[in-house]
Amino acid sequence: MLIADLEAVLEKLAPRALAEPGDNCGLLVGDHDARVRRVLVALELTEPVLAEAGAGGFDTVLTHHPLLFSPLTSLVESRPRERMVRELIRGRINLLAHHTNLDSAERGLAAIAADALGLENVSPLRLSPAGWYKLVGFVPPDAVEKVASAVFDAGAGGIGDYEGCAFSGEGRGWFTPGLEAHPTIGQLSIPERTPEVRWETVVPKNRVAMAVSAYISAHPYEEPAFDIYPLENVLTRTGLGRQGTLPRETTVADLAAHAAALFELDGCSWSGDGGRLVRSVGVLPGSGRSLMQEAAGLDVLLTGDLGYHEADRAEGLGLALVNAPHGQLEWWCLRRWAETLRAALAGSEVDVETSETWRSPWNSAGGGVSPAQPVGDAAPAEALPAGDTVAGAEAIRRLRLRVDGGSRGNPGTGAIGAVLEDSDGRVLETVSRVIGVCTNNVAEYRALLAGLEIAQKAGAQELEVLADSELLVKQVRGEYRVKNAGLKPLHEEAMGRLRQFRRVSVRHVRREDNAEADRLVNKALDEATSAGL
């Protein structure tokens, strides 16, 4: 299957015409003609997701939030978003985004949330504008079928599950051919009254030009008459959010608790009286404050990114609010939607998997699904609570990294060593190489950077870093300031890389407890010496 074929499947599941104005959906980076074998579904593209795609051999990443929203004016390695674009191109990884079109789709994220809540009599909170135009043509009766089939082939005439929808009525066309004209019917300068059919159909906005050109080509007249005008129609089965009724009345507080458990959220807050009985519910995964007006007739709106002022406004509307973490609720729904995609691709040998590395940028204390990310040794990876998962039941990849660096001469020829182990102490990968003339401290940082790189490529989500350089450890933990100008960029890069992990701890160990990394440094230096480098 090619990317273009995958796009056609996605267009059926989440038509791009449903996207909100200004959204950026579709193929953002890649090649329509590239082959697709493995698709990684993630809420958004982050460095860990990109590393996961590379390590897992994924040729395509499909995200909900688009990586590219505002135009890029450069593609520079040091800027994270731009670096990711470069990395996608380097790795020949295609990036697709399906955002508000997937929110609004008939079986999109909001529909999935409504379904999970058990809502009945479900309909969209805000119906999608159809984005249709009306094409009205005036055609001689014997040419109507030919013109109609050309216009339908150009993408006109679809309404819901029906194709080839149009209306015709008989009448008379009036015209007077000019002296330069070549009329199919009638004579120059003589007013003509001839039987014609007024034939009209609907055309999606993005097909108007093609439909008009098909109409003109298939029409027998030299100068076919037609009208095009925009319509205000809405679609009845698609749109932002969903509303419906719960099978049984419940309280706002119970609904919040139920939603938190059902959607595996850190927690939900609610506005107003928690004991208020509710039955009619609006739901929108993501940020739904713009739908408060539409939800005003309901008992409660469940969505994300609600703040103080929304609670105040909701009270005035007689509406209760349940505030759910934006990304977590979307991610739960997106993982369910990935099953829909998998089903749609059944038989195509395209493998669809959901990311194991995406995590919410928000952390909270006391609820525990998205742990804080201390750069310190506050929590050794093994001590994490057993139920600590983001992506449902998938296991967290916890690895240990031992690093060391040194130079003979300080400054002199330097080398780095790193050992990446799994949580059982099995060695996954090592680094042992010379890096040219440098100081001990530079070598220590370079060892850390090389180690973090292999840890990231190995898909580590939580990482314990052990180093015997007190300076390195204390600088990374923020206990020492970095004064040396040569170390500043290395420190900055290390901090950037450390932040890519869900949780990381950096600990100082005695040199004798870091023997293997130390041995790899000396091995590289010995080999360099014997090779005369």
Task: Give the CB-nearest residue to Zn ion.
Answer: 286
Residue with Cβ nearer Zn ion (102 or 467): 102
Q: Tell the smallest beta-carbon distance from residue 13 to Zn ion (Å).
A: 18
Q: Tell the smallest beta-carbon distance from residue 390 to Zn ion (Å).
A: 16
d(CA 310, CA 308): 6
Residue with Cβ nearer Zn ion (219 or 359): 359
Residue with Cβ nearer Zn ion (65 or 491): 65
Residue with Cβ nearer Zn ion (337 or 445): 337
Which one, of 352, 288, 297, lies nearest residue 319 by Cα?
297
Place of tokens 């499947």: 9
d(CA 2, CA 15): 18
Residue with Cβ nearer Zn ion (326 or 503): 326
Stretch that binds Zn ion, among 281-289, 440-448, 469-477, 524-532 (CB under 5 A): 281-289
Q: Tell the smallest beta-carbon distance from residue 447 to Zn ion (Å).
A: 38
Which residues are CB-contacts of 328 (< 8 A; sequence separation ≥ 6)? 263, 264, 265, 266, 360, 369, 370
Size of the site for Zn ion (CB under 5 A): 2
Is 461 within 8 Å of 48 (Cβ atoms)?
Answer: yes
Q: Tell the smallest beta-carbon distance from residue 225 to Zn ion (Å).
A: 47
Q: Tell the smallest beta-carbon distance from residue 65 to Zn ion (Å).
A: 6
Cis status, amide bond into 411, omega within 30 of 0: yes
Stretch that binds Zn ion, among 77-85, 247-255, 284-292, 509-517 (CB under 5 A): 284-292
Which residues are CB-contacts of 217 (< 8 A; sequence separation ≥ 6)? 150
Residue with Cβ nearer Zn ion (40 or 324): 324
Q: Tell the smallest beta-carbon distance from residue 295 to Zn ion (Å).
A: 18
The reply on whether position 286 binds Zn ion by CB under 5 A is: yes
Q: Tell the smallest beta-carbon distance from residue 292 to Zn ion (Å).
A: 17
CA angle (302, 241, 29) in 5-degree steps: 115
Residue with Cβ nearer Zn ion (391 or 449): 391
Residue with Cβ nearer Zn ion (291 or 419): 291
Q: Tell the smallest beta-carbon distance from residue 85 to Zn ion (Å).
A: 20
What track of x and - describes contact with Zn ion for positions 364 through 403 (by CB under 5 A)?
Answer: ----------------------------------------
What track of x and - describes contact with Zn ion for positions 227 through 266 (by CB under 5 A)?
Answer: ----------------------------------------
Is 431 within 8 Å of 523 (Cβ atoms)?
Answer: no
d(CA 45, CA 41): 10
Which residues are CB-contacts of 386 (< 8 A; sequence separation ≥ 6)? none
Q: How far, CA to CA in Å, does 241 sit from each of 22, 108, 299, 315?
A: 18, 10, 15, 20
Q: What is the 3-state secondary structure (H, E, C) of 364-403?
A: CCCCCCCCCCCECCCCCHHHCCCCCCCCCCCCCCEEEEEE
Site residues for Zn ion, 294-353, by CB under 5 A, read 330
Contact positions toward Zn ion, by CB under 5 A? 286, 330
